[in-house]
Structure 1
Amino acid sequence: MKDSSIIIYGYVPSLVLSIIAIVLFGLGFAGHVFLLSRYRTWYFIPIAVGTAMEIIGYIFRILSNVKDPYAVAYFVAQYFCIVVAPVLFSASIYTIASTLTNFYGREYAPLSPKLILWGFVGCDVVATLLQVAGAALIGTSYSNGNGNQETYNHILLAGLAFQVFSFAVFLIVFIWILLKARSSPRKVSPAFTASVFVAALAVYLRTCFRLAETAEGLLQNLSSHEVYFGCLEFAPMIVAVYLLMYGHPGRWLSGASMAKPALSPIMSEA
């Protein structure tokens, strides 16, 4: 890709913010890899992969700062990584909801464990493909100097709108499970479910911000001021990574499986 005639970000990405992000996500990645190896909860691998993608995304933002803020390739690469990473965080949250459904029993959830997992993962995949395609077309359009950016922005907007809708449906399902499970003889620590639920809200906040940013239009207030990115993209993802580290299922669930109901009770803490 050629360089764009403008800085597509709307600003030169902050070097300080990117370095802080790499350090914090790096620590989060190390923590999740340690927990994965300790508890062998391999179904929770997406959170580690997503955290690694965040690191890569911020590396490209550093390259935009120190080498070339006009480089379309850097913009598209960082956008791809930072957009896909939250989808992997969401997938990890879906695995917890699916596992809890198996643990409590099918009667405590409005959907089957497999549908909770793969249905919402499928929705996220479709939404992400639309977002990445829209961002790539926008970058290519700027590099070629044509005027189709708004058309491509609508593709990006459609992906985000669908993602906001599908994740809202998931939150309803998750709340349903937590409320119905209060009558279950099987119990789970409120600290565990609260950490996962707040992490889910953080991911949802970030997605709503991206939708508002895209709906406002290219190079408008939300997209051209990095303070919004820092507060509503970077910060919620850091919160999600560390809450899901605290709420890692290996620390709180004993014998729970995504394939069949768990036979052993919930541990209060590892």
Structure 2
Amino acid sequence: MSTGLPPDVPPYTKVFGPGANCTLEICPVEISVYGYAPSLAANVVFLCLYILSACIHVYLGIRWKSWFFMGCMVLGAVNATLGYAARISMHYNPFNFAAFMIQIICVTSGPVYYSAAIYVTLAAAIKDFSPSLSRFRPDLFYWVFIPSDVVCLIFQAAGGGLSTASSGTSEIGVDMALVGLSLQVAMMVIFCGLFGDYLIRYFRSTQYQADLGRNISGLDFGTRLKVFFSLMTLAIMLILARCTYRLVELREGYRGELIHDESLFIGLEGVLVISAVYCLMIAHPGFIFKKSQQILLNVSGSDGYEFQKVPSQTPASA
């Protein structure tokens, strides 16, 4: 009776699933889910970069009291750290099913936290600079887009969970993850369109010229403003490109060609997302909002999530 395994692999061997007992000693790496042993060097680098980003975002969050932004960035970094730690484990055993599912869930869902941080920060920027130029109330950016992020996260996590329970054979699990990724891509495209429209209107307005006259410790606020909006825009575009790649990859399932290409994963998952994380570090809201307009999360009242302006007599330092 044929087992579908290479002739030199024992017939009792299970390649994939909770009870997988394949190891590199008895199974060729080509029959693993990825078809390769994840690069140790690349995954250690990503792991270290995410740990470093978490430490820096904690420092910046405490300094500028940007609790929601800090929470999103740290949660995203923790997710990524767990995911890349699992991939490091898979370097030594590509057949480790638990590590495979951990990295599928954690690495795939990580950018949801970063996009939530972007939504709230840019909504706050609209409220601070010129809310009258927005075609929608700035509050709608986080009343609509953050709940959609939560739904995306639920679908992606549930899809990964179903895949785990079914040893990776559940089409429902793959479909649920696809729904989550598809919704995430669609909402990000809508957000980019709405925010792009606002930026065009803002940079053409007299309010923009007035904002250039703001002063933060004598530094060029106009440069800060351009860097802030440019890197925020770049971050959301990087995350959008990454989500599009994962959507195409997952459409082929665990046996598609894209999932076996580690160079694509490193470039279009690892590099794009970590670049977005460091863009958000440079474009941290604390660098653009005055200390008298520190970002605090207010969850009381009918306004929901809101950035408050806290009186202060001391301008922010660079």
The TM-score range, normalised by the shorter chain, is 0.7 to 0.9
SS of the equivalent of 1:213 reads helix
- 2:77 aligns with 51
Q: Out of 232, 235, 257, which is 1:199 matched to?
A: 235
State the Cα deviation string for residues 137-193 of structure 1 (Å, max 9, x = none).
2233226xxxx5334322222221111101100111211221121212434621110
The 5 A counterparts of 1:1-270 are 2-4=18-20, 7-45=32-70, 46-66=72-92, 68-142=93-167, 148-182=169-203, 183=205, 184=207, 185-187=210-212, 189-254=225-290, 255=293, 257=295, 258-259=306-307, 270=318
Q: Indicate conservation of the 8 Å contact 1:132/1:156, yes or no.
A: yes
Evaluate the alpha carbon distance shift between residue 160 and residue 238 of structure 1 in structure 2; reply closer, same or farther with a 3 A threshold: same
SS of the equivalent of 2:158 reads helix
Higher relative contact order (CA 8 A, sep 6+): 1
Cα separation, 2, equivalents of 1:194 and 1:51: 22
Cα separation, 1, equivalents of 2:109 and 2:309: 31
Q: Determine what percentage of the aligned residue pairs are the same residue.
A: 29
Point out the structure with max Rg over C-alpha: 2
Q: Indicate conservation of the 8 Å contact 1:138/1:152, yes or no.
A: yes
Question: Partner amino acid for 2:19?
Answer: D
Evaluate the alpha carbon distance shift between residue 114 and residue 240 of structure 1 in structure 2; reply closer, same or farther with a 3 A threshold: same
Evaluate the alpha carbon distance shift between residue 142 and residue 11 of structure 1 in structure 2; reply closer, same or farther with a 3 A threshold: farther
Q: Indicate conservation of the 8 Å contact 2:162/2:172, yes or no.
A: no
Structure 2 residues not aligned, in runs of 5+? 1-16, 23-30, 213-221, 296-305
State the Cα deviation string for residues 3-23 of structure 1 (Å, max 9, x = none).
347633443222111101112
What is the TM-score when the length of structure 2 is the normalising length?
0.75
Evaluate the alpha carbon distance shift between residue 77 and residue 166 of structure 1 in structure 2; reply closer, same or farther with a 3 A threshold: same
Cα separation, 2, equivalents of 1:268 and 1:203: 30
> 1:136 Cα shift?
2.3
> 1:85 Cα shift?
1.7
Cα separation, 2, equivalents of 1:40 and 1:250: 8
After superposing the two structures, state which structure 1 stretch, 30-39 or 160-169, moved more. Answer: 30-39
- Give the CA RMSD over aligned residues: 2.4
Structure with the larger helix share? 1
Cα separation, 1, equivalents of 2:48 and 2:307: 36
